[in-house]
Amino acid sequence: MFQIQSHSLRPLTTTAHLAQTMTLLSLTIEELKQQIDSELASNPALEFIEERRCPTCHRLLPERGFCPVCSRPLNQYSDDPVVFISPRDDFHPVRQDVEGFLPEEHDYSPVEDALPTYVLRQIAPDLAIEDRKLAAYLLAHLDEDGLLTIELVEVASYYHVSLERVKAVQRLIQKADPVGVGSRSTQEALLVQLEVLSETRSVPDLAQCIVENSVDLLFRRQYAELARLYNVPQRRIEQIVHFISENLNPFPARSHWGDVRQPSAADVQVYHRPDIIISYMNDDPQNPLIVEIIMPLSGTLRVNPLFRQALQQAEGEQRSAWREDIEKASLFVKCLQQRNHTMQRLMQCVVKSQKDYIMYGDKHLKPVTRVSVSRELGVHESTISRAVAGKTVQLPNKRIVPLSSFFDRSLNIRTLLKDMIAREARPLSDAELVDMLSREGIDVARRTVAKYRAMEGILPAHLRRSLSQVS
């Protein structure tokens, strides 16, 4: 009977181990630190010893510096990256500021705000204080296309305010950049964009009518049907559709979080603490890359040996409760070690594949996918997705990027596209850009070029031409 019970519990233990490992794997270093602190506070069997010890080989470390064993190449001739878990706690210097402790700006590279934050910054001056919660609530319910996933009447009911008040806040959001964000549908987003566009330039007469009443025909490109419906030549319908496709975006969030209509040189800057730091050994680009996966504590996390001893003397329910605490503490330590091991294997694979991108920039990014990495490491794709999600990497040039950018298959093309447009003697059309990319060995469709151009916040050729004439 005892053997049957033992075997029946093993799958449960394995499942708990896997579930907790996956949870820890998805956390950033800030979230991981909070989780560790929570476990320490709730479990008396878990102990933290304040000492500088290598999380991998468990050697005691000096007050500063890396583990002399784990941070060393396998041999002096190896060019492979050195990947290790770092108990580094001195890379995040802070200074006292009027608003509290803030990171020194020169220690961090800028990244852009998330869309809700970016939009809220724009409309905040025009919002009444009591309406800021409405705006925040609406912005928190945007999908990946920038469209609302909640009905306005639900918001009005939730906050016990009038529907008109909610609509007024939504209108402010829709007029922010990117224009049309916060709309309830692609049709509404297009109508808002037409309204804003008409304030600065002429819009074809039938454009608004077609979007408002015949958007289904428009999306299906039923030009003949539209021409018959509005009693105009098909050529005119084609011109209107061309205007719409060149100037409007039914999915506002798919464009760059910047002034898409007139991009500005200054980016909104915020600063993040990196989860991973990539540098050169001894700061020499001729040396191998060093990859530090930051562990948010420099001491040792273990099951308290005194608690184990006390368990031998405990009886009844207390003994059962203490045994459960020890099992939970032991499981947490093992899962944390498994998380670190998985992150090491992932970064070893990714950094080796994307070495040129790390050293030379976006143009050199290779088309690496999560699926290909999962196959190489022999793990499920969801494991790679969890390990990548939310993590940031500081590159040798001190620029901080999302770990997900290592898997962005369009980044090198978008970078090349930006360079081509930056060097253009005259505004190049999307078709001309397709030809230039083809000569570089990159075959993409014109609509793909238009999409990448919009993602980078670059205007169509005719609008770039208009801006150059004005300036």
Asked whether residue 394 is assigned to any structural domain, the reply reads yes
Judge whether 328 lies within some domain: yes
Q: Which one of 192, 225, 254 terminates a domain?
A: 254
Question: Which of 296, 338, 314 lies closest to 45 in space, CA to CA?
Answer: 314
pLDDT digits (tens, 9 = 90+) for 330-367: 999 999 999 999 999 999 999 999 999 999 888 888 88
Quickly list H helices, 316-395.
316-353, 355-360, 370-377, 381-388
Q: Where among 406, 431, 446 does a domain terminate?
A: 406
Are 124 and 211 in a shared domain? Answer: yes
- Structural domain includes residue 264: no
242 and 119 co-located in one domain = yes
- Asked if residue 321 belongs to a domain, the reply is yes
pLDDT for res 465: 77
393 with 315, same domain: the answer is yes
Which pLDDT belongs to residue 233? Answer: 92
Q: What are the structure tokens assigned to 399, written together? A: 């620029």
End of a domain among 227, 254, 281?
254
State how many domains the chain has. 3
- Residues 249, 309 within the same domain: no
* 249 and 283 together in one domain: no
pLDDT tens sequence across 284-337: 888 889 999 998 887 788 888 888 877 777 777 777 888 888 889 999 999 999
| Same-domain check for residues 370 and 445 | no
Q: How far apart are CA 431 and CA 456, in angstroms?
A: 17
Same domain, 173 and 221: yes
- Are residues 401 and 416 located together in one domain of the fold? no
Q: Do both 240 and 129 map to the same domain?
A: yes
Does residue 15 form part of some domain? no
Q: Provide the pLDDT for residue 278.
A: 93
Q: Is residue 431 part of a domain?
A: yes
At residue 278, φ and ψ (nearest 5 deg) are: -110, 130
Ranges of residues in the chain whose predicted pLDDT is under 70? 1-14, 75-77, 88-113, 255-272, 466-471
> Residue 457 has what pLDDT?
73
Residue 13 lies in a domain: no
To the question of pTM greater than 0.75 for the whole model, the response is no
Describe the crossing of helices 152-159 and 132-139 by its angle, rounded to 10 degrees. 140
Task: Give pLDDT, residue 458.
Answer: 79
On whether both 398 and 422 belong to a single domain, the answer is no
Domain ranges, residue 281: 21-87+273-406
CATH (domain of 418): 1.10.10.60
Give a yes or no: residue 263 inside a domain: no
